[in-house]
Amino acid sequence: MKQFIPNFITLLNVFCGCVATVFAVLNQLDLAAIFVFMGIFFDWFDGLAARLLNAQSALGVQLDSLADMITSGLVPGIVMFQLLGMSLTGGWNLEFSATASESVLWLGGTFTPLPFFGFLITLAAAYRLAKFNIDENQVSSFIGLPTPANALLVLSLPLILLYQNSDTLNSIILNQWFLMAFTLVSAFLMNAPIALFALKFKNWGFKDNAVRYMFVILSLVLLVTMKFLAVPIIIAAYIIVSAIQNGLKTQQG
């Protein structure tokens, strides 16, 4: 019975991803973000439950990646599709309609494929998740940005638009060249040969988890002070701290 508990939690991630997909298609990106956040929590919690119950399984590994493909792969791609569409129409459309969708893809009567560029994120996520399942070097750390972290990065953009109230930030985020560059960087980071530490606590001792605890505290401080704008900064800090940690290990070794 205990073998099923982590898998059930993973299925909750799948459910959250499905609901987030619906809201993303409807361009209700704030609601999509809520369910992505919930899915990422279940993605973290299923691994913790599996370790605590000693219930790790090959099925669980495969199921986890399939869940991530929806919540952290498909949904960010749809969100970027919507943002690229907004960059073409020059504003935020909170309500989905056939007319609005058509106006994004058929500007001036000419088909515009640019919004589909956002699905490069989904393709890169699929490639990364497939590699992860067969890579034995990603047990205690990651190679490349994990898909949940990347999903948070992408979902931060519409939340900044909605809640930061900054015309400067809005003009940057709704610039199609910025969004295209952002998409390319996102796809690259997920598959880059960069070693990143994992937020997996095998115990709660400070000595073994000093970097993790300090990173969590820094993230909370940034979120409180900078709200959703903190998310890209936290991801950048994650990469920088990992690079410093890897450099120190190299020197010690």
Q: With bands split at pLDDT 50, 70 and 90, how would you rate the model's confidence at 250? A: low
pLDDT for the residue 94: 46
pLDDT for the residue 106: 60
Q: With bands split at pLDDT 50, 70 and 90, how would you rate the model's confidence at 45? A: confident
Q: Domain range for residue 48?
A: 4-252
Percentage of the chain beyond pLDDT 70 is 83
CATH of residue 92: 1.20.120
Determine the Cα–Cα distance for residues 138 and 146; give it in Å rounded to an integer.
11
pLDDT for the residue 234: 95
Rg of the chain in Å (alpha carbons): 19
- Of 3-12, 53-62, 113-122, 123-132, where does mean pLDDT reach its minimum? 53-62
User: CA separation (Å) from 86 to 29, 83, 108, 114, 186?
Assistant: 12, 5, 15, 11, 19
75-89 and 4-25 are packed helices; what angle lies between their axes, rounded to 10 degrees? Answer: 10
How many Å separate Cα 78 from the centre of its chain?
12
- Whether 95 has a pLDDT exceeding 80, the answer reads no
| The token pair that represents 81 in the structure block | 């599709």
Determine the Cα–Cα distance for residues 88 and 175; give it in Å rounded to an integer.
8
pLDDT for the residue 171: 92
| The token pair that represents 236 in the structure block | 């950048």
pLDDT in tens, 164-221: 988 999 999 999 999 999 999 999 999 998 889 877 666 666 666 777 888 889 999 9
pLDDT for the residue 96: 43
Asked if 217 contacts 166 with a C-beta cutoff of 8 angstroms, the reply is no
Predicted TM-score of the model (pTM):
0.88
Among 80-89, 181-190, 243-252, top mean pLDDT goes to: 181-190
- Whether 124 has a pLDDT exceeding 60, the answer reads yes
Torsional sign, CA 210, 211, 213, 218:
positive
- Whether 38 has a pLDDT exceeding 90, the answer reads yes
Number of domains in the chain: 1
Higher pLDDT, 112 or 80: 80
